[in-house]
Structure 1
Amino acid sequence: MNKNKKLGCLSLLLLSPLTMAMQPMDDQSLSATTGQDGLTIGVQANVQFNQMAIIDNDGLSYTGYTAPSYANRAGLVIAGVAGQSTTAPVKVSGLNGSTETILGFKATIDTDAGTASTGGAFANIGLALDSNITGLRISPFSIYTASPTSLSNMSGGTYTRNSIFSSGTLLKSDVKELLRVGGIDIVFGSNKPSMNIQLGAAPQGRMVLFDGAIESICGSGTGCNILLVSDYAAAGNSTTTPVGASFDFKLTGNNGNPFGLKGFYAGIYGSAGTTDKGGVVFGNAGTTDKFDLQLNNVLLGTSGSQKTGTFNNLPNASIGNIGMTGASITNLQMKVSGM
C-alpha cells in the first residue's frame, strides 16, 4: 500500500452502545481538589462495537501489475464471528476474579515547565485501572477483508455507513474471513498494568512507558483458539464449521511468576530515510521476564475429516503441541510505518 498517502479511513462502523461515565464528586471532594497541581479523572466505560475498519483508498503502491489492477479501495474489518443469524458485537470488559465488570480507570494529568536538559515543557498523564479490576476480557471476534461495496465511505462532508454483513453476522459475497479468535482473558498480577504518557518533551525518554505485570493471557485450560480461516465445511457458507489452520494460544509467567511490563515502551518516531516515513514503535529495553508460551492442539483442516485418496485416507487430527518454557526477549522493537 502507498506509504505516502494518508490513511483512507479509521472508523467505528455501526457503533453499538459505548457508554462512559465520569465519577461524581461531592462538595467536600471538590473543595479538596481546588488548588491542586494536577487533575485526576475517573472513567467507567462499557466498550462494545459491531464493526471497526481500517480502509485503504488506493490499494497496493506497486505499479508492476498491468492486468488486473490492484490499486482499488479495500479494508480490514474487525467484527463479531461470522455465521450468526443475530448481531454478535465485540466487547471489552473488566474482570473481577472470574466475573465480568464495568471497565474503570483513573487518569492523573499534570504539566511541567521542564528544564533545559529535558527539552522543555511537557504534559504527564498516568493511567491506572480501578482497584477492583483483576483482568480484561475480549469477546470472540474475527478479522475480515472487504471490498468497497461493503465499506463505509466519506465523500466531501458526507459519511455513508455500510456493513460487511447481509444480516446478523452473515457475510456478504465480497467479504472474506481471515482470522477467527476465541474469547481472550488477560489476568493481571498483583501489580496491575499501568502506563505513563508524556506529551511535548519526554524526560522519561519515551512517549509511553508501561509498568505492572500480567499473570496470563488465555491461561485457562489449553488456551484460546486462533484459526486462520481458509473456507468452511460447506464451501463459502460461514454458518458451517470453518476450515483452516488452528491452535490454542496460552501464555503464562514462568514458574508462577507474573510477566513484568516494566521496560516496555511505545511512541511515534519520525522519518528514517527515503523509504521509512515514520510511524509507531513498540518494544522493550533490556531483557524481559521469563514466560511460558504454548500452541496447543495444532490442527490443519477439520478434525475427523479427510479428502479421499490422500494420506492413506487418514483423518485430520491435531499434530500435537508446540511451546517454549522459560523464554525471554532482549531489546524487542516493532515498527508500524504508514499505509
Structure 2
Amino acid sequence: MNKNKIISCLCLLLSPAVMAMQPMDDQSLSVATGQDGLNINLSTPKIEFKQLAVIDPDGWDTKSVAAAEYRNRGALVLAQSPNSTLSNLSITAKSSGAVTNLNVNAAIDVDKGTGANGAFANIGLSFGNLDELDVSKFSVYTAGSNAVSDFGVTSAGVYTQRSIFGASTATLTTGVKELLRLSDGLNIKFLASNKPKMNIQLGAAPQSYMVRLGGAIDSICGTGTGCNMMLVSSYATESDPTTAPVGASFKFQMKASNSSTGFRLDNFHAGIESDGLVFGNYVESCSTTPATCITSDSVDLRLNEIKFGNDMTTIPAVGSSNYRFNGLQNSPIGNIGFTNASVTDLKMKVSGL
C-alpha cells in the first residue's frame, strides 16, 4: 500500500474523532440529547503551581465612586510564603491517612432542554477515594497595577505574566504586600461515607445554579490546636520579608458538631449573577416564605492561641521603640470559639471583578 493510500485510510479512521472535537454552535446544541455523554478520568498524586491570581482589571470602575479612588489593575495572589524553601505550592490527596492519587472523574453530557429552559451542558465531578486534601504552607498577597501581569504596557496588544517575587522568594516585587500567612498549610478532611462531589451546568442550568456542591466535611485543621494563621502587618525588620512576620496570629480549627453526618455541602451552590460571583446555601424565596429557608449543619469553630505583635526573644530596654507590655514577653491572650453553630440563608457575593 503506497503512502497516499495509507494517509487516506488514516483520515477515514480519524475523521469521526476529529468531527467530535469541533465546537458546537447554539443551533447544533439545541438538538443534541447527549444520551451517552463523555467520561474523563484524571489521576495524579499532587497538584503544584507557582502562583494563582484573581485579577481586577479596573479597580473602582463605577460612576458612583469618587474619581480619586483606585482605578488601576489589582489582584489577590495565592503563592509560597516569603523566603520559603519549597519549590512550589502543592495540594496533595490522601486516603485513610496515606498519600494517594487524586482520582477525578468528569461525566459530561449535553441536553437540548425543553421549551424556554433551553439547551445546557452538564458536568458531574466526583473524586474517587479522596478522604483528605493537604495544602502546603502558603500566603495570600495583594498586588498592585502590573505586579502580576500587564496587557499592552510593555508591548502593544501583548499580555505578559509576571511573578510577585524578585530573584527569589526572599524578595517581593514593587506593589506586592503579604496579607495572610498560613505557616502550617491547610488540611481538609472529608467524611469517608460522603465524599466530595460537584455538579456544573452551563447554559439553561435547570438545577437553578451554575455549580452545586455535595459531600460532607469532617474537619478543617482538625488535629492538635489547629493551623497557624497570621494577618501580616510588617516584619521583624521593617519591609524585609526574609525576617519573621509580625501581626495578628491565631490557630484556626473547624469540626463538624455531628461526626456522623459531618458538615454537609449538599445545599451549597455557587454561580455568576449580573453584579458578581455568589456562594451560599440560600433560596431566593426565604425572605418571604420562611419554610423554604435552608439551615446548615452545625460546626464547632475555634481560634486558639490568639496573639498580637512580635515575639521578643530578648526583652528590650525600657523606653526603646520595641518596648511592649511593661517589660513582659509577648504571649497569647487566650482562645475564643463557639460550638453547635449554624447559619440560615447564607449568601455571599463578590462584586467588582
Q: TM-score, normalised by structure 1?
A: 0.78
| Further displaced range: 245-254 or 134-143 | 134-143
Distance change >3 Å, CA 123–CA 56, structure 1 → 2? closer
1:264 pairs, out of 259, 263, 268, with 268
The 5-angstrom pairing of residues 10-89 of structure 1 reads 37-45=36-44, 46-61=46-61, 62-65=65-68, 70-84=70-84, 86=85, 88-89=87-88
Whether 1:224 and 2:224 are equivalent positions in the alignment is: no
How far is 1:255 from its partner?
Answer: 4.1
Cα deviation digits, residues 47-80 of structure 1 (max 9, x gap): 2111223344444444353xxx744444332210
Matched, 1:127 2:130: no
Report how far residue 135 of structure 1 moved.
1.5
Residue in 1 that maps onto 2:347 = 333
1:90 aligns with 2:89: yes
Q: Residue 161 of structure 2 aligns to which amino acid in structure 1?
A: R
Change (3 A) 1:105 1:324: same
Partners of 1:87 and 1:169 within 8 A in 2: no
Structure 1 residues 259 and 52 mapped into 2: Cα distance closer, same or farther (>3 Å)? Answer: same
Within 2, Cα distance between the matches of 1:292 and 1:107? 33
Alpha-carbon distance between aligned partners in 2 of 1:203 and 1:150, rounded to the nearest angstrom: 40
C-alpha deviation, 1:107, in angstroms: 0.8
Gaps of 5+ in 2: 1-33, 283-293
- TM-score under structure 2 normalisation? 0.75
Contact (CA 8 Å) 2:77, 2:141: kept in 1 or not? Answer: yes
Report which of the two has the higher share of strand: 1
Tell me if 1:281 matches 2:278: yes
Residue number in structure 1 paired with 2:299:
291
Distance 1:58 1:125, change over 3 A: closer
Offset at residue 140 of structure 1 (A): 1.1
- The equivalent of 1:172 in structure 2 is 172
Q: Distance in 1 between matches of 2:201 and 2:55?
A: 29
- Counterpart of 2:185 (choices 161, 183, 186) is 183
Q: CA deviation at 1:169?
A: 0.8
Secondary structure of the equivalent of 2:277? strand
Task: After superposition, give the CA deviation of every residue in 1:81-103 in whole Å (9 maximum; x if it has no partner).
Answer: 1123x554211121122233332
Q: Which is worse superposed, 39-48 or 183-192? A: 39-48
Aligned residues of 1:38 and 1:109 also touching (Cα < 8 A): yes
Is 1:105 aligned to 2:119, yes or no? no
CA distance in 1, matches of 2:70, 2:36: 55
| Larger relative helix fraction | 2
Which amino acid in the other structure matches residue 340 of structure 2?
A: G
1:122 and 1:70 map into 2 onto residues whose CA distance is 39
Shift in Å, 1:310: 4.4
The answer (yes or no) to whether the contact 1:194–1:212 under 8 Å persists in 2 is yes
Alignment map for 1:177-216 (pairs within 5 Å): 177-181=178-182, 182-189=184-191, 190-216=193-219
Output the CA distance in 1 between the equivalents of 2:352 and 2:253. 31
Aligned to 1:22: none
RMSD across aligned C-alpha pairs, in angstroms? 2.4
Paired residues of 1:50 and 1:87 also in contact (CA < 8 A): no
Percent identical among aligned pairs is 48
Tell me if structure 2 keeps the 8 A contact 1:166–1:172: yes
Give 1:139 shift: 1.1
Residue 254 of structure 2 aligns to a residue whose secondary structure is strand
The AA in structure 2 aligned to 1:291 is: V
